[in-house]
Chains A and B, each alone.
Chain A
Amino acid sequence: MFAAKTAAARALGSLSRRSGRGGGTSLPGKALLRLAPDAIERLAGRLEDGVVLVSATNGKTTSAALAAAALGPDHPLCRNGAGANLLSGVASALLEAPAGARLGVFEVDEFALPEVARRTRPRALLLQNLFRDQLDRYGELELVAERWRAMTAVLPDTTTLVLCADDPVVSALGEGRDHVVRFGLDDPSVALAGLADAADSTTCIRCGHAYDYAAVYLGHLGDYRCPNCGHTRPALDLPVRDIDLRGLDGSAFTIGGTPLEIGLPGIYNVENAAGAFALATALGVAPDVAAGRIGTARAAFGRFERVIVGDRDAVLLLVKNPAGANEALRTLQPNVAGAVLLLALNDRIADGRDVSWIWDVDYETVLPHAARVVCSGTRAADIALRAKYAGVHPDRIEIVPGRADALDRALERAGAGGTAYVLPTYTAMLELQRVAAERGLVRPYWEAAAS
Chain B
Amino acid sequence: MITIVPVYPALLSIYADRGNVRVLQQRCAWRGIEHHVEPLALGDDLDPRRADVILLGGGQDRDQVLVADELIRQAPRLREALAEGACLLAVCGGYQLLGHRYHGHQGDDIPGTGLVDLETVAGSSRLIGNVLVDCGDGRTMVGFENHAGRTWLGDGVAPLGRVIAGAGNNGEDRTEGCRAERILGTYVHGPLLPKNPWIADELLQHALDRRGGGRLEPLDDGLEAQTAEGAAAIARSERR
Residues of A within 8 A of B26 (CB): 389, 391
Encoded as 1 (CB less than 8 Å from any A CB) or 0, chain B from 11 to 35 comes to 0011110110011001000000000
Q: With A and B bound together, what is the CA distance between A210 and B60 in angstroms?
A: 15
Q: Which residues from 116 to 146 on chain B have a C-beta closer than 8 Å to any C-beta of chain A?
A: 126, 128-130, 144, 146
Q: Size range of the interface on B?
A: 20 to 34
Contact A356 to B191, CB < 8 A, known contacts A139-B126, A385-B227: yes
How many Å from the CB of B204 to the closest CB on chain A? 15
B231 in contact (CB, < 8 A): yes
In the complex, residue of chain B having the shortest beta-carbon distance to the beta carbon of A145: B62
Give the most central of A198, A379, A389, A397: most B CB within 10 Å. Answer: A389
A394 touches B223 (CB 8 A): yes
B150 in contact (CB, < 8 A): no
Q: With A and B bound together, what is the CA distance between A358 and B190 in angstroms?
A: 11
Q: Give 19 new A-B contacts, CB below 8 A, not counting A355-B144, A359-B16.
A: A135-B15, A135-B146, A136-B144, A140-B14, A141-B60, A142-B61, A197-B18, A353-B144, A356-B16, A356-B190, A356-B191, A357-B16, A359-B19, A360-B18, A360-B19, A381-B230, A385-B224, A386-B194, A399-B226
A-B contact pairs, 11 of them (CB 8 A): A197-B13, A198-B16, A354-B146, A356-B190, A356-B191, A359-B16, A359-B18, A359-B191, A384-B223, A389-B22, A389-B26
Give the most central of A322, A358, A359: most B CB within 10 Å. Answer: A359
Q: With A and B bound together, what is the CA distance between A322 and B18 in angstroms?
A: 12
In the complex, residue of chain B having the shortest beta-carbon distance to the beta carbon of A202: B10
B234 in contact (CB, < 8 A): yes
B129 touches A389 (CB 8 A): no
B195 in contact (CB, < 8 A): yes
How many Å from the CB of A379 to the closest CB on chain B? 7
B227 touches A354 (CB 8 A): no
Q: Which residues from 337 to 355 on chain A have a C-beta closer than 8 Å to any C-beta of chain B?
A: 347, 353-355
A79 in contact (CB, < 8 A): no
Residues of B within 8 A of A354 (CB): 15, 144, 146
Residues of A within 8 A of B168 (CB): none
Encoded as 1 (CB less than 8 Å from any B CB) or 0, chain A from 136 to 180 comes to 100111100000000000000000000000000000000000000
B66 in contact (CB, < 8 A): yes
A197 touches B9 (CB 8 A): yes
Q: With A and B bound together, what is the CA distance between A360 and B189 in angstroms?
A: 13
- From A136, A208, A382, B231 is in contact (CB under 8 Å) with A382
B195 touches A385 (CB 8 A): yes
Contact A358 to B230, CB < 8 A, known contacts A197-B9, A388-B223: no
Q: Size range of the interface on A?
A: 35 or more
Q: Which residues from 58 to 94 on chain B have a C-beta closer than 8 Å to any C-beta of chain A?
A: 60-62, 66
A225 in contact (CB, < 8 A): no
Contact A389 to B23, CB < 8 A, known contacts A141-B60, A142-B62, A382-B230: yes
Contact A353 to B130, CB < 8 A, known contacts A360-B18, A385-B195, A388-B223: yes
In the complex, residue of chain A having the shortest beta-carbon distance to the beta carbon of B22: A389
How many Å from the CB of A59 to the closest CB on chain B? 22
A241 in contact (CB, < 8 A): no
A381 touches B9 (CB 8 A): no
Q: With A and B bound together, what is the CA distance between A356 and B220 in angstroms?
A: 22
Contact A358 to B61, CB < 8 A, known contacts A347-B234, A353-B129: no
Listed in ascending order, the chain A residues whose CB lies under 8 Å from chain B are 132, 135-136, 139-142, 197-198, 202-203, 208, 210, 322, 347, 353-360, 379, 381-382, 384-386, 388-389, 391, 394, 397, 399
In the complex, residue of chain B having the shortest beta-carbon distance to the beta carbon of A363: B22
How many Å from the CB of B145 to the closest CB on chain A? 9
**Considering the complex of A and B, which 5 residue pairs feature the smallest CB-CB distances, nearest first?**
A359-B19, A359-B16, A356-B190, A381-B227, A359-B191
A359 touches B144 (CB 8 A): no
Residues of B within 8 A of A391 (CB): 26
Residues of A within 8 A of B230 (CB): 379, 381-382
Q: With A and B bound together, what is the CA distance between A385 and B60 in angstroms?
A: 27
Residues of A within 8 A of B146 (CB): 135-136, 354
Q: With A and B bound together, what is the CA distance between A382 and B190 in angstroms?
A: 14
Q: With A and B bound together, what is the CA distance between A302 and B126 in angstroms?
A: 33
In the complex, residue of chain A having the shortest beta-carbon distance to the beta carbon of B26: A389
Q: With A and B bound together, what is the CA distance between A168 and B19 in angstroms?
A: 27
Residues of A within 8 A of B15 (CB): 135, 354, 356
Residues of A within 8 A of B13 (CB): 197, 360
Residues of A within 8 A of B62 (CB): 140, 142
Q: With A and B bound together, what is the CA distance between A357 and B191 in angstroms?
A: 9
In the complex, residue of chain A having the shortest beta-carbon distance to the beta carbon of B61: A140
In the complex, residue of chain A having the shortest beta-carbon distance to the beta carbon of B227: A381
Q: With A and B bound together, what is the CA distance between A322 and B13 in angstroms?
A: 13
Q: With A and B bound together, what is the CA distance between A382 and B226 in angstroms?
A: 9
- From B10, B23, B128, B220, A136 is in contact (CB under 8 Å) with B128
How many Å from the CB of B195 to the closest CB on chain A? 7
Residues of A within 8 A of B191 (CB): 356, 359
Q: With A and B bound together, what is the CA distance between A385 and B225 in angstroms?
A: 10
A356 touches B227 (CB 8 A): no
A210 touches B144 (CB 8 A): no
Contact A385 to B194, CB < 8 A, known contacts A135-B15, A357-B16: yes
Residues of A within 8 A of B126 (CB): 139
Residues of A within 8 A of B60 (CB): 140-142
Residues of B within 8 A of A197 (CB): 9, 13, 18
Encoded as 1 (CB less than 8 Å from any A CB) or 0, chain B from 33 to 55 comes to 00000000000000000000000
Q: With A and B bound together, what is the CA distance between A142 and B16 in angstroms?
A: 17
